[in-house]
Chain A
Amino acid sequence: MNQTNRPDRSDRRDESNQDPASTRTPVKSYRLLWISLAVLGFSLVALRTAAAQGEGASPEAARDLWTTLGIWCAAFMTLGIFSFLYKDNPFYKVCESILIGVSAAYWMVNGFWSTLVPNLFGKLAPGFVQSVAMPDLPTPDSPTLEMSLAFVPLILGFMLLWRLAPKGGWIAVWPVAFIIGTTAGMRLVASIEADLMSQAAATMKPLVMFSDSVDEAGNAVRAFDFWATMGSIVGVVGVLSVLTYFFFSVEHKGVVGKTARLGIWFLMITFGSAFGLTVMGRVTLLSQRFEFLFQDWLGIR
């Protein structure tokens, strides 16, 4: 009986882990709202307290206080995100929502201050921007010309936003066409030079390789380099077989089929190594989080 039932339970358990999005614990929206507000309120009170204490304290002490607060927030967020590995929960949802909200807000503010203010407003009204927002903004060499040119992106920007208007959505197509055209034009030349010509040239090298060295007597010695030769051969065979796999004008039978099959092996090995490198990257991220928790948060060294 138990033997029969066990797989069913494991199946259910597996299903619950297979697709977390489809089986998330239902958390009522108002409860989530209260939790978010509580976290936000706690953070604000903590920040206010830290600021108040910081005003009367020495700069080093104030910095330590802020650092401590930051470390506790980061530890809270890290554990919150990790908690999803056990199962979906409100703690995780709060951390996830804060992460998404902060990221979106950050990119919006960054776009405004690093692009719009210096590159658009700073050229349309440099004196105003320098006095109000960015004192370090360089003064334009030829203000009239730069202001005139800045009207082009300003108008294109307005045209792009016209998509939100109830009528005349086609107006937004023109700046999109401009963006696509300039990007394609800029990238085309770079890709042909760096990715096509240079890569083709790098493939066209001798199959048999020699290495040059100097012996003890100071004479130049040229010797057969086995591994470099193997590398050249594997490179050429790999390129030709993978190109054959992607050549669909001829049916993949006989010699062509076998070459294409070899090409699949090269592709699989490439994907495997890429996956391995990705795993290495993810393990590094996890180890850095653990280092943070153990060393910066708990002080274990």
Chain B
Amino acid sequence: MTTPQRGSSNPGLLERLGSLDRRWIFLSMGLSIALPILLQLRFPEVPGPMARATFDAIEAVPEGSRVLISFDYDPASAAELQPMANAMVHHCASKGHRIVFMALWPLGKQMADQTIDQVLLNFHPDLEYGTDYVQLGYQAGNEGVVKLMATNIPEQYKTDTSGTKLADLPLVGDLRNTSDFKLVASLSAGNPGAKEWVQYADSADKEAFTLVSGSTGVQVSQLLPYYPAQLEGMLVAVKGAAEYEMLVEEKYPVSKDAERIGQGRVRMGPQLVAHMLMIGLIVLGNLAMISGRARGGAQ
């Protein structure tokens, strides 16, 4: 923001805004986020084409198909990605897909465990480990893991997280490579993540499986060029999560703990108010600058 003109006899309100202590802005930003949470403000979401493409891609896969969900994030990005993970796991399980969980990030395994506990087994308690879902966990190696999985999964993952050999688990006993999945989803916060899945898995066999992603706002600009040719569906930050939640809940409503499939929409309330505040501050800042310049020019 601009500083007031020295020597001006009576600075106006706009000029005084120019010298506003930035802590007032921090406070107003805090309030703009805190109040919608406390008041539980929710606004209607209209699903966009990317969220709808992701939903349709999972719907298009035949019931009972083997799908892979890679948790490529940690708690630092859970605010944006966990709502997507919850909705996607519920969606896949409701559709009857058999889910293989894995992680390219060390704490991704814990995020997947949490999702299995709070969503998969909470909403679908009849699912059986080994037949309906398997947790492969984290493997070190970044993009090397994806590259090896594209050619030889048993070489990369000899056991699941509990130490059971893959051959002893019906769901993954005959897995050879990523082409054995009908759909791969990467919930990605950076490197390694969705970009590596496009580069090393999708490029290895473009027709074998459908690749979709959910990513943080920071990473979206890197991934947008891949949509829709290489990434058939894409959830863009918390906005994408909220839109996708709407589509999932509309078709597969839950009878309890509905907030698990509604975190994205809850976080869109503060988004709206905070963005309105930011736009207002940008307008005020520019007006203050223009006013200061005009006053300086007049003198």
The residues of A with any CB-CB pair to B shorter than 8 Å are 3-4, 6-7, 10-11, 13-14, 17, 85-86, 110-111, 114-115, 118-119, 135-136, 138, 186-187, 190-191, 193-195, 198-199, 201-202, 270, 273-274, 277-281, 283-288, 290-291, 294, 300
Contact = CB atoms under 8 A, between A and B. Distances in A.
Contacts of B266: 291
Contact of B203 (A114, A135, A194, A288): A194
Interface in B1-42: 3-4, 6-11, 19, 21-23, 26, 29-30, 33-34, 37-38
Interface stretch (B116-124, B235-243, B249-257): B235-243
Interface residues of B, number: 59
B3 A119 contact: no
A294 B38 CA distance: 8
Q: DSSP majority for the B interface?
A: helix
29 contacts: A3-B10, A3-B11, A6-B4, A10-B3, A10-B21, A13-B19, A13-B21, A119-B140, A190-B143, A191-B199, A193-B203, A194-B198, A194-B226, A195-B199, A273-B221, A274-B221, A277-B220, A279-B275, A281-B217, A281-B218, A281-B237, A281-B238, A284-B238, A286-B30, A286-B33, A286-B270, A287-B79, A287-B271, A290-B33
B245 to A, nearest CB: 14
B19 A278 contact: no
Given A193-B203, A194-B203, A280-B239, A138 B80 contact: no
Given A115-B140, A287-B33, A287-B270, A136 B3 contact: no
A186 B26 CA distance: 45
A287 B7 CA distance: 42
B236 A277 contact: yes
Nearest to A134: B163
A284 to B, nearest CB: 5
B152 interface: no
Contacts of B274: 283, 286-287
B225 interface: yes
Contacts of B202: 194
Given A277-B237, A287-B33, A17 B22 contact: yes
A122 B170 CA distance: 27
A281 B189 CA distance: 11
Contacts of A284: 79-80, 217, 237-238, 267, 271
Contact of A285 (B79, B106, B138, B226): B79
B154 to A, nearest CB: 10
B3 A11 contact: yes
B278 interface: yes
Contacts of B271: 280, 283-284, 287
B165 A281 contact: no
Nearest to A198: B230
Contact of A4 (B7, B217, B270): B7
Nearest to A17: B22
Among A17, A193, A201, A284, chain B packs the most CB atoms within 10 A around the CB of A284
A189 to B, nearest CB: 9
Contacts of A288: 78-79, 267
B106 A114 contact: yes
Given A119-B140, A281-B80, A294 B106 contact: no
Given A138-B159, A138-B165, A290-B34, A270 B221 contact: yes
Interface in B203-232: 203, 216-218, 220-221, 225-226, 229-230
Contacts of A114: 106, 138-140
Contact of B229 (A187, A202, A274, A278): A202
Contacts of A85: 23, 26
Nearest to A192: B203
B147 interface: yes
Contacts of A286: 29-30, 33, 270, 274
A286 B236 CA distance: 18
